[in-house]
Structure 1
Amino acid sequence: MTKQITLAVGFTILLASALVVSCQKDTQVETPTTASSDISSEVLAKIKDRGFSTDKAQKVDGGYVVEGDIFLNDAYLQSEVTSPTLRIAEVEQYRTWNLVSSLPREITVKVSGLGTAYVQGADLAITRYNNLGLSITFRRVTSGSADITIQGFYQGPSGGYITLGSAGFPSGGDPYPQILMNTHPYAYGSNPNVNYVGSVIQHEIGHTIGFRHTDYMNRSYSCGSGGNEGSAGVGAVHINSTPTGPDAGSWMLACSSGGNATFNANDIIALNYLY
């Protein structure tokens, strides 16, 4: 999920989105190259082969962040490609073949080393999911291990973007185990808004249970620029009663206006279809 801002005396929020997902801010700062220029051509080819965009891909600890907020670790990139990405609708909800299994199921979530706004944001996101009555539910825990741990990282703008958060996709029937949230002041400011933080966590949870960006096939719909996020082979399964055109307000759009964003009617249909 990305979000465009203008840096001035402070910063002014304009529009444009990740989630994490989504989950970057497009910052109008002068930088000579994009982040992907620091990644080898071999790695970029592997990212592309797995159906992800290589535009502005970033090297981070343990792997790479692509499409603004999706984390791919080194082990995943070294593994053999065994399944395609499943596309749901034309410019609607999308998921990977990897989903959470053993349903019905409760997924535990822990916030580690982050402030009150992140804890309250996690609670907000959890409540929104649980209110849908899905076959997966979420519960925040404060001790011991958890299925998903939300942790912080500190990273400023790079290549004209700042990452708000990131997460990966399910593996082996389990949700991706980590969501990272940026604590840099350019990400959420010095006093993070709970609704804003919660909306980003809600988006990142969407990735951990298998959702890709709603405008996967045409990123320019929510971001103002960019095209298809990936070129790998895809299946095409349209969810009944969901539109085949652009869907404003989806919680999984690649870019958003920031602030308080939750599920729209079609998101709820897609979530019920899968869970």
Structure 2
Amino acid sequence: MFSRSLVLAAGCVAMSLGCGEPVDETQEIVSNLTRAGFPSNDIMVVEGKVYVGRDAEVSLDASREMLTAGATTEEQYRTNNVVSPSLTKICVNGSAFTGVFSTALDLAIQNYAEMPLTFTMARTPSTGCGFTINAVIDPNLNGGVAGFPANGNPFGQITIGGLLSQYGVDVIEHVITHELGHTIGFRHSDYYNRAISCGSGGNEGDAGVGAIHIPGTPTTATVGASIMNSCFRAVETGEFTDSDRTALAAMYTASAPALVSALDPNRCLDVTGGSAAQGTATQLWECNGTLAQQWRLTPQGELRSNLAPNLCLDVFNGDPTPGTRVQIYGCNGTAAQRWTVVGATVRSALAPNLCLDVFNADTTPGTKIQVWECNGTNAQNWYTR
């Protein structure tokens, strides 16, 4: 990967492409204007400044605002080969990383470790490593290089440029996260037109490894919309975008157990309609094994839904009043989303005697789930399956 732009080498080793060069601001402005619909003959660059209509200067921030916020323009592609589900722990040897590079490596690994994937990722030394990726520094490189999976294992090395020190920890984190993405099978999001994030460049093509669209992500790319864009900017945060999380979930989501009601062995805690929209109510429904009925209890006490990477079981409005509905909502670390399993009950952190409850102990599919004073009845007893 390098900057733009900093280009991030997509499976850079396999494709002989730079993966991390910095992006030029002027190039990004021109690219943004082009994608925003301005004809090329109406865009002028004079002494490093960009104009439209011959007299209207456009700043970088203004050009970014011209791109529709929230539009479904992020996308992800993967290689033919992916990491085997039998590989449950990937380790990264970063012994050569010190200072800001060491910090950035820890943060990049954390990006993956926080996701509910079929594998966990950790930095060495660590026990139980099924495969270890070696991370090295090239002092003359301004970006990163990596390759793609083979034989069910990740690519064995990422190379990170020492010249990235000029950008700070967030950009270095971004590049490392990007290169690790290649090792587990991600292509560049804009592989079909590197000019999107780099300001110039063409189609990387199949490159002999495939470019398979990942379900749930759109099919076009924009600047800043994915950590897997070919080139990076000096303003990267180092964090996954929603598109990145969706792609990871589609490729490597680990299955999670259902919460079955003690009222009926065929009634499960379910997200209504299987909708991942924030605020969707939960209900009791026939157990069916779908993502809408898969829940993961995290060390922080969250019950995370497998419908989306950042959705938690939540008490509406953080209201501890008995009868308040339970919904899914973006994970935020509040007491409304913290739960403790006590025996067969699931207790809310909002109050000491508040339990996850089936309204009126009714087993009819569609019955709402609420919080209620703990009373020991089967309407409040749950087990995993």
Q: Same fold (TM over 0.5)?
A: yes
SS at match of 1:149: strand
Q: Superposition pairs for residues 1-275 of structure 1, below 5 Å?
A: 1-4=1-4, 16-21=5-10, 66-69=16-19, 92-103=75-86, 105-142=88-125, 147-155=132-140, 162-183=141-162, 186-189=163-166, 193-230=168-205, 237-248=212-223, 249-258=225-234, 259-275=236-252
Q: 1:203 to 1:110 in 2, by over 3 A?
A: same
SS at match of 1:168: coil
Q: 1:225 to 1:194 in 2, by over 3 A?
A: same
Displacement of 1:97 in angstroms is: 0.9
Displacement of 1:110 in angstroms is: 1.3
Q: 1:247 to 1:271 in 2, by over 3 A?
A: farther
Distance in 1, matches of 2:154 and 2:115, equals: 18
SS at match of 2:153: coil
Q: Deviations over 1:73-102 (max 9, x none)?
A: xxxxxxxxxxxxxxxxx9831111111103
Displacement of 1:3 in angstroms is: 1.4
Share of identical aligned residues, percent? 40
Distance in 2, matches of 1:271 and 1:119, equals: 24
Displacement of 1:253 in angstroms is: 0.1
Instruction: Note if contact 1:94-1:212 (Cα within 8 Å) is conserved in structure 2.
Output: yes
Displacement of 1:167 in angstroms is: 0.8
Q: 1:224 to 1:137 in 2, by over 3 A?
A: same
Comparing 255-264 with 125-134, which one deviates more in the overlay? 255-264
Unaligned runs of 5+ in 1: 5-15, 24-62, 71-89, 156-161
Q: 1:235 to 1:255 in 2, by over 3 A?
A: closer
Instruction: Note if contact 1:101-1:173 (Cα within 8 Å) is conserved in structure 2.
Output: yes
SS at match of 1:211: coil
Letter of the aligned partner of 1:17 in structure 2?
L
TM-score after normalising by structure 1: 0.62
Distance in 2, matches of 1:239 and 1:224, equals: 25
Q: 1:20 to 1:188 in 2, by over 3 A?
A: farther
Match of 1:73 in 2: none
Match of 1:36 in 2: none
Q: 1:211 to 1:64 in 2, by over 3 A?
A: closer
Distance in 2, matches of 1:233 and 1:178, equals: 19
Distance in 1, matches of 2:207 and 2:93, equals: 34
Displacement of 1:69 in angstroms is: 3.0
Distance in 2, matches of 1:117 and 1:204, equals: 17
Instruction: Note if contact 1:22-1:253 (Cα within 8 Å) is conserved in structure 2.
Output: no
Displacement of 1:244 in angstroms is: 2.4
Displacement of 1:205 in angstroms is: 0.2
Q: Deviations over 1:208-246 (max 9, x none)?
A: 001110001111111111111125578775444322232
Q: Deviations over 1:17-47 (max 9, x none)?
A: 3334499xxxxxxxxxxxxxxxxxxxxxxxx
Distance in 1, matches of 2:150 and 2:212, equals: 21
Distance in 2, matches of 1:132 and 1:94, equals: 19
Displacement of 1:125 in angstroms is: 0.8
Instruction: Note if contact 1:68-1:163 (Cα within 8 Å) is conserved in structure 2.
Output: no
Unaligned runs of 5+ in 2: 21-72, 253-385
Letter of the aligned partner of 1:188 in structure 2?
S
Letter of the aligned partner of 2:198 in structure 1?
C
Displacement of 1:200 in angstroms is: 0.8
Number of residue-to-residue matches in the alignment: 196
Distance in 2, matches of 1:173 and 1:237, equals: 17
Q: 1:117 to 1:142 in 2, by over 3 A?
A: farther
The structure with the largest alpha-carbon Rg is 2
SS at match of 1:242: coil
